Amino acid sequence: MKTSTQATAPTFLTLRVEGMDCGGCERKVVSALERLDGIEEVTASSITGSVKIHHHDHGAPSRKTIEGILNELGYQVASHDGQTHASGSASPWWQTAKGRLVIITGNLLIVAFALRLAWPALGNVPFILATLVGLMPIAQSAWGALKMRNPFTIEMLMCIAALGALAINAAAEAAMVVFLFAVGELLEGVAASRARRSISALANLTPSTARLMDNGHLRDVSAESLKPGQRVLVRPGDRVPCDGRILVGTSDIDESPVNGESIPRSRAPGDDIFAGTVNLDAALEVEVTRGADDNTIARVIRLVEEAQAAKAPIARFIDRFAYYYMPAVVLLALLMAIVPPLVSTMAWSESIYRALALLLIACPCALVISTPAAIAAGLSAGARRGLLIKGGAVLEQLGKLRLVALDKTGTLTAGTPRVTDVESWIAEEDDNSVLRLAAAIERDSSHPIATAIVEHARQSGLNLPTATGSRALAGRGVSGQVEGRELSLMTPRHLHEKVILEESLSARIIALEEAGKSLALLVEGERLLGLIAVRDEPREDALEGLAALSRLGVQAVMLSGDNARTVAATGGRLGIEAYGELMPEDKAAYVRDWQATGRGPIGKVGDGINDAPALAAADVGIAMGGGTDVALETADAALLKNRVTGIAELIDLSRATLRNVKTNVVLALGLKAIFLVTTALGITGMWIAVMADTGATVLVTLNAMRLLGYRFSPSTALTGLSQGKTTS
């Protein structure tokens, strides 16, 4: 009985556990630990190989006590330094406990067959000894679970089946069953460790050492020891050891290890870079902005592990089904042992044999692991491609989306305006002259439009003169003297204060604004010299990403706070429904209205800041961003590569994962059903039953691992049916 809730704050203890490789293992661990006083909640994940214990500071069992219970159940716990007490999870299979059991039982079986051939008079004695020796570690685990009032474990069923086989003089088959069980357990462990390696690969992206700049001297230090504010030198070809900000140097950075983006990006002083990325060209001096426990790689690993440990709705359903399924099959086996001899001429030895075989099939390991293995593989595949998904429930829901609402600025568009048109309106000035004069006035301004004009002038190779007396005209523009001329850059709505426009010029201004462009008009005295138009252009992959959504049968809608004319123009260019001049609460209201009218599960994509209410209201909130706090912590999913095509990729990955889950469930239940019938009819025996159980577990796990090779092609996605390919 648990202790009552205490005044002390609850805390968490997370342990790494070796040998916990299936759903049956999870239930055994949870059942044993939840019975301890002071324990509030226990969650175990065979996919991540971890146990998380929610307890109170006072009255809770010690770590040593918990480790003792887990050891008694047959599992090894990682020590405080992260290494297992015995054989670590990275050890070769023959050095693990399960590997040693296979070697021992296999050799015992060979020796037993040899002794029978050499000395037939020994009869079943060699097989009895082989069975008992091989059964000892299995019986120890079963006894540990039984003491914790958990009799329905695969180890207990194995013990009953093997000892029962000895009792009915089927010693050779009993020894074979013990050996096959050991092989199956080993294969389960190998398959599960392969799933865990996808997370370990992420951890290995960060180098172990860094070159710390300390008072003008360089020294190698552990990357884990870096603290915010310190400076490190990252040489060409080195992996970046920390999240940081470039202080000195410009270089191309390969960010594919973090976000899956194949094209290197140029980074300059002031730009942020992430741990695990690769510096390609030049040496960089970088200021550390996050410690090792909080850098991008560490946070991605933490999110993936938490997501893999969180069960999807379909996984919770399978768990509930398995909870009732196993006792039901045990009852069926008991009836098989007792009823046939009473109502027919079947011998008791035959009915008991069939019942024992049924017991071996009863363990629902394959069924229970079928869903979390696929979910975990899907989450890992997404993380490796810059798609962060916070849990199996989110992954499952993504595939059901039928409408996705997207923000405009920074999501469908680049987020920074670019010059699209430069026009001179008087004969004395050409287009380059208009651009040169305007850029001179704007050179010292940080306004996005000013930045776009200056950047365009520099890209055009223009030498900018010096402007003097520059001053802002509140709400109207900016003015200054350039080469002795008094010039102003003004917005169209205030142009009438200085200039009387001809009808043709007014029509041109209206046409440019209706095209979604913002205008800066260059004025000298009462003369209009020309104009510069800028626009926040759609991302390069915006049309491709929206087309991929359409092919997946998902409708895209734009929700933006920008002015209605600009939003309509952008929506028209992209070919989607668009709504403008919306406050954050207005966006959330649209999402709730669509949900109420049954337009299907709704996804919302935005930057996670002004879109926060809509992200929260949507069935799935997806944040765009290159590893920002908002992208990683606010929404249900995040696109680290910051590309529109990633939205369709998320949905396609979800559908591929759900197809894999369905295949696994069919495999697990189908094999169980077939061998339950054939065993009940006496067609198949005990060793076939063991292969049916452990073989199915390995089969569904390996099938799930195919998702680790997931590939998506936006151009080949079909409406309503994903063509995302998985490879072994």
Catalytic residues: 407
Helices 365-384 and 645-680, packing angle to 10 deg: 160
**Paired residues of 43 in beta bridges:** 52
| Distance in angstroms (rounded) separating the CA atoms of residues 298 and 720 | 36
What is the dihedral angle through the alpha carbons of 472, 473, 474, 477, rounded to the nearest 10 degrees?
-90
The distance from CA 432 to its chain's CA centroid, rounded to whole angstroms, is 49
What type of residue is 352?
I
Look at strands 602-606 and 403-406 and give their pairing. Answer: parallel
Burial group, residue 121, by CB count within 10 angstroms (0-12, 13-18, 19+): exposed
Would you report the helix, strand and coil content of the chain in percent, each value rounded to 5? 50, 20, 30
Task: Read off φ and ψ for residue 495, nearest 5 degrees.
Answer: -65, -30
Q: Residues with Cβ < 8 Å from 194, sequence gap 6 or more?
A: 705
Are the beta carbons of 613 and 588 closer than 8 angstroms?
Answer: yes
Are the beta carbons of 45 and 30 closer than 8 angstroms?
Answer: no
| Distance in angstroms (rounded) separating the CA atoms of residues 233 and 489 | 44
53-57: Cβ within 8 A, 24+ apart: 53/12, 53/13, 53/14, 53/15, 54/10, 54/11, 54/12, 55/10, 55/11, 55/12, 55/13, 56/3, 56/5, 56/6, 56/8, 56/9, 56/10, 56/11, 57/8, 57/9, 57/11
| Distance in angstroms (rounded) separating the CA atoms of residues 521 and 518 | 10
Scanning the structure block, which residue is given the tokens 């109502």?
343
Q: Which two tokens stand for residue 104?
A: 């021992």
What type of residue is 258?
V
Are the beta carbons of 195 and 705 closer than 8 angstroms?
Answer: yes
Q: How many residues does the structure list for the chain?
A: 728
| Distance in angstroms (rounded) separating the CA atoms of residues 36 and 34 | 5
Count, in order, helices (H) and strands (E) of the chain.
22, 26
| Distance in angstroms (rounded) separating the CA atoms of residues 456 and 143 | 76
Q: Three-state DSSP class for 450? A: helix
